Amino acid sequence: MLQILRSDKTIRWTLVGFFVLAIAGNFMPAWVQNNLMFGLARGLAVLGLMVLWRTGLISFGHALYFGIGAYAVALVDKHLGVSDIFLRLAFAMGAAAMVGFALGFILRKYRSIFFAMLSLAFSMVLYGILVKVEALGSTDGFSVSATSILGWTPESKYTLFCAIIVACAAAACMVQYYLKTGLGALTTAIRDNELRVEYLGYSVSKAIHFKYIISAGLAGASGAMMAMALGQVDPDSMVNWTVSGELVFITVMAGPGSVIAPFIGGVVFEFLRTYAFELAPHAWQLIVGGTLLAIIFFLPMGLWSLLERIWVRKGSSS
């Protein structure tokens, strides 16, 4: 493990990048800090979707786990008075991973559009339940109290901003490590040729199930961070199909090239949406959609491929 961590450039750059962002955040206006928090938090869920995408699977229903994470935070806050960030994250990730584990037994049998749509169906079941059940907040949802860290409740949001950055850096490093192991390398192998993986002696279903649980846990963490950053959870902003759509949107926009890409994608999406809304309050979706179309046409491997091209050009010119 240490060998991978020490020799991996991506891990080093991820840590440096997030550290610089954490320092810079202190000098940023509140709206920029907020946008970064939302973008990075979404990036966690997109990181999980990237693992699935590399395996050849796209889920249109990860709002299910995003919502479970968010509602877990709200429910443990309301009923148990839990405000500690670590406990909230543990509950959120645990609940999302457990549901991912259970549903994984069904989903691991499906591929392509069937996998995508079945995921969506499960997420809409949760949406339906949340909207109808009064005890779960119905359409209004719940508010979430301020987050504490080991008993200390900070006054500014900068602490939560830093906590989100730490969580994102840790998740990116762990996923990068995972992708470098044999199990991680199976992501591409399964996408390329499931039959060969089976005949090499490894269960494709088991491998997909494991990746699905990872992605569910990350989406749970993402939802939890979003709930803490927003201070509010409700079905429309946490579980509705549009949330799943946004996550897939960011995944495609970011590209599967690196574990850093989902966070860049998440942040770009937040600012794109903010500026699009500022520019055209009644047609901002046109700007966002048009941007995605342009990326699909000109950068089919996402924004990360553009950065790679720039680095390669810089490297060759120097």
Catalog residues that contact another protein under the rule CB under 8 A: 1, 3-4, 180-183, 185-186, 188-189, 191-193, 195-203
Nearest to 160 by CA among 73, 24, 36: 36
Residue 12: CB minimum distance to another protein, A: 16
Q: How far apart are CA 314 and CA 317, in angstroms?
A: 5
Contacts of 18 (CB under 8 A, 6+ apart): 165, 166, 168, 169, 172
> Do residues 244 and 60 lie in contact, with contact meaning Cβ atoms separated by under 8 Å?
yes
* Residue whose CB is less far from another protein, 139 or 193: 193
Residue 207: CB minimum distance to another protein, A: 9
User: Phi and psi (nearest 5°) for 254?
Assistant: -75, -40
Residue 57: CB minimum distance to another protein, A: 16
Residue 204: CB minimum distance to another protein, A: 9
Residue 191: CB minimum distance to another protein, A: 8
H/E/C letters for each residue in 218-285? HHHHHHHHHHHHHCEECHHHHCCHHHHHHHHHHHHHHCCCCCCHHHHHHHHHHHHHHHHHHHCCCCHH
* Residue whose CB is less far from another protein, 150 or 195: 195
* Residue whose CB is less far from another protein, 2 or 150: 2
Q: At what angle do helices 63-80 and 30-54 cross, to 10 degrees?
A: 130
* Residue whose CB is less far from another protein, 179 or 221: 179
Residue 183: CB minimum distance to another protein, A: 5
Q: What is the DSSP string of 151-212?
A: TB--SSTHHHHHHHHHHHHHHHHHHHHHHHSHHHHHHHHHHH-HHHHHHHT--HHHHHHHHH
Residue 206: CB minimum distance to another protein, A: 10
* Residue whose CB is less far from another protein, 163 or 175: 175
Q: Under the phi-then-psi rule, with left for phi > 0, alpha for psi from -120 to 50, and beta for the rest, what region is 153? A: beta
CA atoms within 13 A on the CB side of 196: 7
* Residue whose CB is less far from another protein, 156 or 193: 193
> Do residues 73 and 228 lie in contact, with contact meaning Cβ atoms separated by under 8 Å?
yes
Q: How far apart are CA 97 and CA 110, in angstroms?
A: 19
Residue 173: CB minimum distance to another protein, A: 15
* Residue whose CB is less far from another protein, 207 or 228: 207
* Residue whose CB is less far from another protein, 42 or 211: 211
DSSP code for 148: B
